[in-house]
Structure 1
Amino acid sequence: MDWVRGEVVGHGSFGKVNLAIPIKQNTQFLPSMVVKSCGVSHSATLIDEKKILDELNGCPEIVQCYGDSYSFENGEKLYNVLLEYASGGSLAEKIKNSKNHKLLEFEVSGYTKGILKGLQYVHEIGYVHCDIKLQNILLSEDGKVKIADFGLAKRVGTKKDDNLRCELRGTPLYMSPEMVTRGDQGTLADIWALGCVVAEMVTGVPVYKFSDVTELLMAIGVKNQLPEIPETLSEEGKDFLRKCFVKDPRNRWTAEMLLKHPFVADHDDTVTFTEIPSTSPKCPFDFPDWVSDECGQLSVTCSITCLPLPENQEKLNWSSGSGGNLPTDRLRELVSEFRPEFEWSCDGWVTVR
């Protein structure tokens, strides 16, 4: 499909996102599309994301992939992935634009059911999303859920090299205890993150209130501090969150089990939507300890001293050396000084065919 690059509408985990406008407007059906692009020398993760989306093709609760291509722009070879355009924005934007910056329980139940349907499919195919959060749950024009941004997703059971065992993959506020303490990230880690998303939809604020990432990780991984369950939720809603916020993942409910929970099972999938943003979801990069250029690339400092609000949360996907086996030893390694460097430029986009 021939297309031209439109305006910038956001950034994904590892690439810049523009509207993609088909050149031939007189063909049968032309889907609304965006294109995620990055330099070929940095395209390994985006290529993997495209392969994962191909395997997940067909699930209505997951952003669809329409193909990929290469292009030369301003002397640089780019890798491009064409994706479904979720014009309703993200859940983060939905909450920001809602009255009192929170959602009604009826809406929360509907969105939660859609997310669970998508997660069940992801897990059945054998993947873990690894970064479920408000910014990565998009809404279609009619308000239906679309799980997006599989840049950090991985196969269930895959392990990193032992020399890189201190990996953090995801966004700190949504990390499960087993991820923080042991680096274990199975499908049940997505369920913990889902619980954080549900609680945040209800209250409009993060489930943890820490100004320091080190304190946050210690609370999750060492102090066994569970997220607070909103008092305004119904008993069914509270029980649903209790099934998500179980420290031992072996006792945490799966997506399939949660879909049968009364909090979502009786929902008719019809949600009333108001004030749906007209812009595409974005991932701001303005956390003081994360330096970002206009292409959305990150320069990560692990000695982080300030935790951003949800809309400014960034992803951690970095590793450091080996150390002790205790959770406290692992956490010391995770907050040690380490700065990966990313260097590439994406100035002056041009028309692509």
Structure 2
Amino acid sequence: MSSEDISTTTVFVQDWLCFDNILGEGAFGEVKLLINKRTQEKIACKIINHDKYKDASSQINREVVIHKTLDHENIIKFFGRRQEPSKEYLFLEYAEGGELFQLIEPDVGMPSGSVQLFMKQLLCGLKYLHTKGITHRDIKPENILISAEGVLKISDFGMATYFRFKGKERWLDKKCGTKPYLAPEVFLRPYRAEPADLWSCGIVFVAMLTGELPWSLATDENAEFNQWNNDMYILNTPWSKLGYMALSLARKILQVDPKKRLTLDEIERQPWMHVHFNAEAPEEDTVDGTSEPRCKRYNSMVAEETILNREKPTVTLSQPNSSLRQSTIMQTVKTTSNDHLCFSQPTQNDNWMVQFTQSPITKDNFDNLIKRMTRFYVSMTKERTMETLCSILDSLHLTWSVDVNRAVSITTTDSLKNQLIFKINLIEMDKKILLDFRLCKGCGLQFKRKFLKLKEYFINN
């Protein structure tokens, strides 16, 4: 196994190891996992390369200024930062459950009980932000993480800003965020921060229940949005998949006029938010008359144990005591220096305090990888798996390349005509090959559709 293999680890500093496998990517860098060899504590490290992203500095500074003031169970914790001449490291809470979109089955969604719990936690975290005068401005499933215990965590404050200071509110005029989740008033400007964030929550609500996004843009030029705005949507998806109570709530959150839109407190008081959902019982009847329990309609390609976990979620409304030792983490932040830190193998054998260990991934240490539903096994050699994968990508006319870490990177567009970039890592594990798909840029639901299509082609080859 070569040093390029993604299962290798790097000694970060002292007792901390860095897993070379990337947890995720953002606009200005990537996120990797750090784990303490003695205590097994885990933290996420966001790495920003300022040589590569020249304009990152001011945005990162703003993100840090806001994030370090936050302390809430439904918001990813910020532990500290370390700045080097060309790189910067942000130390964050590790959310082992991965992104929320991983739990949303395309065109199906999630069980209503899970959606209700996640909505309560999302609103709880957002209420805390708004109370502090902060707006997130990019609420979407890709920026919502889930802890190992099933607790929702709002993440990525790169677009966040203050909208209220000393009780005085200011209107915003910057159009930022992700297009399908943006409120219609954001395109018109200026706009109020709180209603705009709540609109984004409404889109997340619909996506969780139906596995679909209602439109690509909330503007008059968009046909789907026009149908919604003119009450001509009832027979169309995703609305036809919603029960009456859920549809009523969606209509009140996605009210085009921000003055008529429900406030956060009003959303929490809505009847749907207080329904007792039983995973063993059928869901409420849908508009199209379907009474079959949603849990019976899950795509058969999803692993059986994953379905079981989603039908009986372990989500809680409060966060358990963190096992992370703040002093240990801060020691890591403070002792990291540019003389003792490297994430790639040095070309010269100088006095670098960096070592490489080649530890193959097995079922015993697989938990050190982020949990994803977008992965599957094949019983082939690594070489044969790569040949088959590349052949399928060519047959689908997808643009692909192989990077320095032997990951296959695919660049394409989704059904909404937006750019979609994702990577596929081939991991040798237990005499099989695990194909691990990771979203780099674009919509999580569209990414999962591509994943399912590629998986189907792979299985049929």
Tell me which interval the TM-score lies in, with the shorter structure as reference length: 0.5 to 0.7
Would the aligned equivalents of 1:143 and 1:273 in 2 still touch at CA under 8 Å? no
Q: Please, which of 41, 46, 49 is the counterpart of residue 63 of structure 2?
A: 49
* Aligned CA distance change for structure 1 residues 174 and 259 (closer, same or farther; 3 Å): same
- Which structure has the bigger radius of gyration? 2
Q: Which runs of 5+ in 1 are unaligned?
A: 283-287, 295-304, 316-353
Residue 246 (structure 1) aligns with = 255
Give the 5 Å matches for 1:85-164. 85-96=94-105, 101-156=108-163
Partners of 2:242 and 2:226 in 1: CA distance: 25
8 A Cα contact 1:229 1:238, kept in partner: no
Q: Is the 8 A contact 1:240 1:261 kept in 2?
A: yes
Distance 1:149 1:185 in 2: 21
- Contact kept? 1:130, 1:190, Cα under 8 Å: yes
Residue 146 to residue 281, structure 1, CA distance change in 2 (3 Å): farther
Name which of structure 1's ranges 11-20 and 121-130 shifts more when overlaid on structure 2. Answer: 11-20
Match for 2:145: what amino acid?
A: L
Distance in 2, matches of 1:251 and 1:63, equals 31
The answer as to whether partners of 2:49 and 2:87 remain within 8 angstroms in 1 is yes
Give distance in 2, aligned partners of 1:253 and 1:261. 10
Report the TM-score, using the length of structure 2 for normalisation. Answer: 0.52
The residue matched to 1:273 in structure 2 has which SS?
A: helix
Partner of 2:22: 8
Q: Which of 44, 47, 56 is matched with 1:34 structurally? A: 44
Deviation at 1:168, TM superposition (A): 2.4
SS of 1:251's equivalent in the other structure is coil
Distance in 2 separating the partners of 1:121 and 1:260: 17
| Aligned equivalent of 2:345 | none
How far residue 88 of structure 1 moved from its aligned partner, in angstroms, is 0.6
Q: Which runs of 5+ in 2 are unaligned?
A: 1-12, 164-168, 280-307, 314-365, 373-397, 405-415, 422-438, 444-461
- Mapped to 1, the partners of 2:181 and 2:156 lie a distance apart of 15
Partner amino acid, structure 1, of 2:248:
D
What SS class does the counterpart of residue 66 from structure 1 fall into? strand
- Partner Cα distance (1:224, 1:181) in 2: 19
Contact 1:135 1:281 in 2 (8 A): no
Letter of the structure 1 residue corresponding to residue 61 of structure 2: I
Amino acid at match of 2:95: A
Measured in 2, the distance between the counterparts of 1:101 and 1:112 equals 17
CA distance in structure 2 between the aligned counterparts of 1:125 and 1:183, rounded to whole angstroms: 21
Q: CA separation in 2, counterparts of 1:176 and 1:13? A: 22
Return the offset for 1:221. 12
Deviations 1:195-250 (A, max 9, x none): 11111111111111x5xx6x967339995844876233333222221221111212
**Equivalence for 1:218:** 221
Aligned residues: 279
Asked whether the equivalents of residues 136 and 147 of structure 1 are also in contact (C-alpha less than 8 Å), the reply is yes
The aligned amino acid for 2:80 is G
Give the C-alpha shift of residue 115 in structure 1: 0.6
Post-superposition Cα deviations, 1:30-76, rounded to whole Å, max 9, x if no partner, equal 7421011213452322222222122221x1111111111124xxxx5
Q: Which amino acid in the other structure matches residue 63 of structure 1?
A: I
CA distance in 2, matches of 1:314, 1:138: 16
C-alpha contact (below 8 Å) 1:188/1:252 kept by paired residues? yes
With over 3 angstroms needed to count, the CA separation of the structure-2 counterparts of 1:235 and 1:159, relative to structure 1, is closer
Distance change (3 Å), C-alpha of 1:68 and 1:137: same
Aligned with residue 66 of structure 1, among 74, 79, 89: 79
In the alignment, the residues of structure 2 paired with residue 184 and residue 220 of structure 1 have an alpha-carbon distance, to the nearest angstrom, of 23
Percent of pairs identical after alignment? Answer: 26
Q: Deviations over 1:148-195 (max 9, x none)?
A: 1111111115577xxxx6x42000000101101225251111111111
Residue 310 of structure 2 corresponds to residue 274 of structure 1: yes
Distance in 2 (alpha carbons) for counterparts of 1:31 and 1:158: 41
Whether contact under 8 Å (1:117, 1:255) holds in the other structure is no
AA at the equivalent of 1:10: G
User: Distance between the aligned counterparts of 2:212 and 2:419, measured in 1?
Assistant: 11
Contact 1:9/1:281, CA 8 A, preserved across alignment? no
Q: Does structure 2 conserve the Cα–Cα contact (< 8 Å) formed by 1:16 and 1:36?
A: yes
Contact 1:181–1:222 (8 Å) recurs in 2: no
3-state secondary structure, aligned to 2:145: strand
- Pick 1 or 2: higher relative contact order, CA cutoff 8 A, min separation 6: 1
Q: How does 1:73-92 map to 2 (within 5 A)?
A: 77-92=86-101
Q: Distance in 1 between matches of 2:213 and 2:66?
A: 29
Distance 1:313 1:253 in 2: 31
For the Cα contact (< 8 Å) 2:108–2:211, is it kept in 1? yes
SS of the residue 2:127 aligns to: helix
Judging changes above 3 Å, is the alpha-carbon distance between structure 1 residues 222 and 10 closer, same or farther for their aligned structure 2 residues? Answer: closer
Look up the match of 1:332: none
CA deviation vs aligned residue, 1:273-309 (integer Å, no higher than 9, x gap): 3399965389xxxxx9xxxx99xxxxxxxxxx92357
Partner Cα separation in structure 1 for residue 160 and residue 120 of structure 2: 21
